[in-house]
Structure 1
Amino acid sequence: MTLNRPAALALTCAAVLLALAGCGSTGGTSTTASPTTLVVSKPTPVTADEHADRTTLKAAVGATVSVELHSTYWSAATSSAPDVVTATGAPTTTPAPSCRPGGGCGTVTTTFTAHRAGTVHLTASRSVCGEALSCAPDQRVYDVTIEVTG
């Protein structure tokens, strides 16, 4: 049996309407689909301290990179490539509450944001390693390499 075009269209529409009427109608209640939520995850933050000296760490574009050095004798860390990793805000120096004067107890923290893929060195320096104690040459410079991907 061959149907003309208007009849075929009418049958198709009727079938679609019947299918839609049957969807989600059980016992007089209707269900509606909830909208899909797109979850965008933030890049994992990276924190480096003295243990990361002379090592390479990886960070994704958009990640926060913090350098936290445990002595107030350290200078704030700086970036060798500010277009790749840029300092955000001023560095913070937090003295330890029970430190004798001149002890250098506390932390110096500098926070950065990774802006684009590339490799950067975050460096800090110090000349004093304790009260009236000069640092040995291998203790004067802190250098961590950050490879930014993404």
Structure 2
Amino acid sequence: MRYSQYCNEKIGQRGHLWQGRFYSCPLDGVHLYMAMRYVERNPVRARIVEKAEDYTWSSAASHVRGIDNPILSIAAIDDWDKYLDITEEEEEEGKWGQHPIFRRKNRVLSPFSRITFIISAILIDYSSLFLRLRISGHTC
């Protein structure tokens, strides 16, 4: 018997071992930075480190030191050190990751963003499709 089948039988579950563990959904700018803070503070919440930037496997140190990368600009947050260094009480107040709307949207992979972001993403997607069709010689 495979290990996942063994575990499933033991706890009365079905599916592959990590099923339902990870979710993804499109995020607009505001929600993206909230998600980054939530993720980068995980080692602090787990009591692995005292400050998010001290965790070796996190991008928090780069953000605090002002090291930009081509994938995501750090310019949207003025002071990353202050942004990441919040108290547990402040974090409890802003527990957006546990918010029912966020959980529901993650389960169905729907965007967690303003309607303008969703519309612009759809328009960009359609315009790139149209461009690919024109380049390949097809017409709509």
TM-score (norm 2): 0.21
Considering fraction of residues, name the structure with more helix: 2
Of the two, which has the highest radius of gyration? Answer: 1
TM-score (norm 1): 0.20
